[in-house]
Amino acid sequence: FSGSAGETKGLFVPKAEDYQKVYNEVAALLQEKDDYDDGSYGPVLVRLAWHASGTYDKETGTGGSNGATMRFAPEGDHGANAGLVAARNFLEPVKAKFPWITYSDLWILSGVCAIQEMQGPTIPYRPGRQDKDIAACTPDGRLPDASKGNKHLRDIFCRMGFNDQEIVALSGAHALGRCHTDRSGFDGPWTFSPTVVTNDYYKLLLDEKWSWKKWNGPKQYEDKSTKSLMMLPTDMALISDKTFKQWVGKYAKDNDLFFKDFAAVITKLFELGVPFDETTQQSPITFKPTA
């Protein structure tokens, strides 16, 4: 046989320390490749993990992070996934170094790593995802459309099994990263610190004055004072809807509450549709941050 180290006849059973090694490798690459975008691949790794998970449909049990079907053309080419090839390519050397990990576990582990390395909360991680083939690709249209409003947000996120509070907590991820005209068509970051996990997204939503950006691109908002930040129509829906807005207010005031709720809801997101072997009572791994 020709297994690489650790893959002897497929009998290698990785332990927590092996997953920590993968974590450390992703963290090292994040440090090393700091000339990307705002200085980090972290945000786009979080987006990859979210788009792998956010296809979940609770009625049919299809989609979700178990499968990594975005590797294949129909799903990889969905408009919502434009640009995520940068994140997938970033992870190829990690997959080559640790061939025993599935793509589906690696993508989620990397999302966890990115959040922790960007000073976010600790996210408990459970491995066990299996890669599926092209037949498991989800239909286009399962991920949210940024041009829409509160009803659309509830439709999409209720299909995954989330409530209003969870929708608002998840949206705090937009403290990270930016929009790219060559990907979604939108432009700009949501916050002044797009490579650090903070509750600034909520603060800015409430504290800034937002008006329509005058440009030829898709409809988006800009802040009146600096015109350097942006909000999507779906972001603004979180303050035009009374129920959503109450949660925006709580998270704007209390970063600890945001960290606690964000960790819980992102763990739920990352585990949607993953058939963990409940009989083994597998306890989640807590990765040690390197930063």
Residue 52 interacts with ligand ZEM (CB under 6 A)?
no
The C-alpha angle 8, 14, 16, rounded to 5 degrees, equals 160
3 state SS for the chain: CCCCCCCHHHCCCCCHHHHHHHHHHHHHHHHHCCCCCCCCCHHHHHHHHHHHHCCCECCCCECCCCCCHHHCHHHHCCHHHCCCHHHHHHHHHHHHHCCCCCHHHHHHHHHHHHHHHCCCCCCCECCCCCCCCHHHCCCCCCCCCCCCCHHHHHHHHHHHCCCHHHHHHHHHHHHCCEECCCCCCCCEECCCCCCCCCCHHHHHHHHCCEEECCCCCCCCEEECCCCCCEECHHHHHHHHCHHHHHHHHHHHHCHHHHHHHHHHHHHHHHCCCCCCCHHHCCCCECCCCCC
Would you mind telling me the total number of residues written for the chain in this entry? 291
Q: Taking the complex as a whole, how short is the minimal distance between the CB of residue 106 and ligand ZEM, in angstroms?
A: 17
Q: Taking the complex as a whole, how short is the minimal distance between the CB of residue 266 and ligand ZEM, in angstroms?
A: 6
Cβ distance to ligand ZEM smaller for residue 21 or 58: 58
User: Of all residues in this chain, which one has the CB nearest to ligand ZEM in the complex?
Assistant: 177
Q: Which of 176, 230, 231, 248 binds ligand ZEM (CB under 6 A)?
A: 176
Q: Which of 27, 112, 118, 170 binds ligand ZEM (CB under 6 A)?
A: 170
Taken in order 179, 76, 273, 25, is the CA torsion positive or negative? negative
Residues tagged active-site = 51, 190
Distance CA 94, CA 29 (A): 9
Q: Which of 19, 22, 43, 160 binds ligand ZEM (CB under 6 A)?
A: 43
Residue 50 interacts with ligand ZEM (CB under 6 A)?
yes
Residue 248 interacts with ligand ZEM (CB under 6 A)?
no
By CB under 6 A, which span of 27-35, 44-52, 88-96, 199-207 interacts with ligand ZEM?
44-52
Residue 183 interacts with ligand ZEM (CB under 6 A)?
yes
Residue 168 interacts with ligand ZEM (CB under 6 A)?
no
Cβ distance to ligand ZEM smaller for residue 101 or 265: 265
Q: Which of 179, 229, 272, 274 binds ligand ZEM (CB under 6 A)?
A: 179
Cβ distance to ligand ZEM smaller for residue 83 or 289: 83
Q: Taking the complex as a whole, how short is the minimal distance between the CB of residue 220 and ligand ZEM, in angstroms?
A: 9
C-alpha distances out from residue 114 to 43, 136, 188, 214, Å: 7, 27, 20, 33
Q: Taking the complex as a whole, how short is the minimal distance between the CB of residue 229 and ligand ZEM, in angstroms?
A: 14
Q: Taking the complex as a whole, how short is the minimal distance between the CB of residue 277 and ligand ZEM, in angstroms?
A: 26
Cβ distance to ligand ZEM smaller for residue 87 or 98: 87
The C-alpha angle 49, 105, 131, rounded to 5 degrees, equals 100
Q: Taking the complex as a whole, how short is the minimal distance between the CB of residue 25 and ligand ZEM, in angstroms?
A: 21
Residue 177 interacts with ligand ZEM (CB under 6 A)?
yes
# binding residues, ligand ZEM (CB under 6 A): 24
For 58, the token pair is 């609770």
Site for ligand ZEM in 80-109 (CB under 6 A): 83
The binding site for ligand ZEM (CB under 6 A) comprises 43-44, 46-47, 50, 83, 144, 146, 153, 170-171, 173-174, 176-180, 183-184, 186, 232, 234, 266
